[in-house]
């Protein structure tokens, strides 16, 4: 419980950092400066205060990860629930297609999609959602098959319940409850995917500040300005560890759900 409290405190601190950090304006007369009283975390390659730039990057990356994770879950519930209800050869064929996509790690799948589509927010969001989508569908489909075998669903079906009515009344609440517990894991994957693709210059458009673009900048100036790497890297690591702590806590509370 203590680790969970620290994780929540850190995530709330990130939210406050993103909301209250001042705008990161360029100042070409203060490039790559070490931490000073004027810029407590130093400046980047464009003379921006790293405190302000990182606050802007945190807000943008977290918001984008939230949107893409929600999109993957929304489509995953529909497709996974439909797959779990299906029977016969159609279901077998769709499961083999799903197995093909699951053979690729989410990072590799998102990287391949983004390399094909190019830079941009829409292509980045689509590639991240595609990286998460197969895992969500498999998770939802497996749980949907378990629900289909339950007695209350069999009773509702015997009383004349339609497939759509059964899905809305019985499947959806249970599936969303399970995905609520899995959400931190999916959110962490989306955040890491965005940072990785932007680090490889396959993510956000040029000139846009994000966690990945700041990490790419830290790599370029690792010798001249090592403070950039020390300022940008640890918060991302702590964020991923905090999300992992929430995942572990959920697993201890509801072990049967995993």
Contact 56, 18 (CB under 8 A): yes
Whose CA is closest to 97, among 70, 129, 137, 56?
Answer: 137
Range of the domain at 126: 2-257
CATH number at residue 166: 1.10.3720.10
Q: How many residues does the chain have?
A: 258
> The tokens of 51 are what?
């405190």
Rounded to whole angstroms, the Cα distance separating 146 from 163 reads 16
Rounded to whole angstroms, the Cα distance separating 54 from 60 reads 10
Q: Which of 63-77, 173-187, 197-211 has the highest mean pLDDT?
A: 63-77
Q: What is the pLDDT of residue 158?
A: 67
Rounded to whole angstroms, the Cα distance separating 239 from 216 reads 18
Whose CA is closest to 250, among 41, 49, 8?
Answer: 8
Rounded to whole angstroms, the Cα distance separating 104 from 130 reads 11
Number of domains in the chain: 1
The model's pLDDT over 92-137, given as tens digits with 9 standing for 90+, comes to 888 888 888 888 888 888 888 887 887 778 888 888 888 888 888 8
- What element of type H or E holds 154? helix 151-158
Rounded to whole angstroms, the Cα distance separating 163 from 157 reads 8
CB contact set of 36 (below 8 Å; sequence gap of 6+): 42
The model's pLDDT over 157-170, given as tens digits with 9 standing for 90+, comes to 666 766 666 676 76
């Amino acid at each position: 419980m203590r680790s969970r409290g620290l994780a929540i405190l850190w995530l709330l601190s990130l939210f406050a950092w993103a909301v209250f950090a001042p705008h990161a304006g360029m100042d070409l007369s203060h490039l790559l400066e070490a931490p000073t009283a004027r810029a407590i975390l130093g400046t980047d390659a464009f003379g921006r205060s790293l405190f302000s730039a990182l606050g802007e990057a945190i807000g943008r990356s977290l918001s984008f990860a939230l949107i893409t994770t929600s999109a993957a879950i929304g489509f995953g519930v529909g497709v996974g629930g439909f797959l779990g209800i299906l029977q016969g050869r159609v279901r077998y064929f769709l499961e083999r297609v799903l197995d093909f996509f699951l053979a690729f790690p989410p990072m590799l799948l998102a990287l391949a999609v983004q390399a094909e589509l190019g830079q941009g927010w829409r292509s980045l969001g689509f590639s991240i959602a595609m990286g998460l989508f197969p895992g969500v569908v498999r998770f939802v489909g497996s749980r949907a098959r378990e629900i289909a075998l339950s007695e209350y669903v069999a009773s509702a079906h015997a009383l004349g319940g339609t497939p759509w009515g059964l899905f809305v009344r019985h499947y959806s609440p249970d599936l969303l409850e399970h995905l609520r517990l899995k959400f931190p894991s999916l959110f962490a994957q989306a955040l890491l995917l965005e940072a990785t693709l932007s680090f490889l210059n396959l993510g956000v458009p040029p000139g846009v500040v994000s966690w990945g673009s700041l990490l790419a900048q830290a790599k370029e100036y690792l010798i001249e300005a090592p403070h950039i790497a020390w300022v940008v890297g640890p918060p991302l690591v702590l964020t991923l560890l905090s999300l992992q702590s929430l995942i572990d806590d959920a697993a201890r509370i509801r072990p049967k759900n995993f």
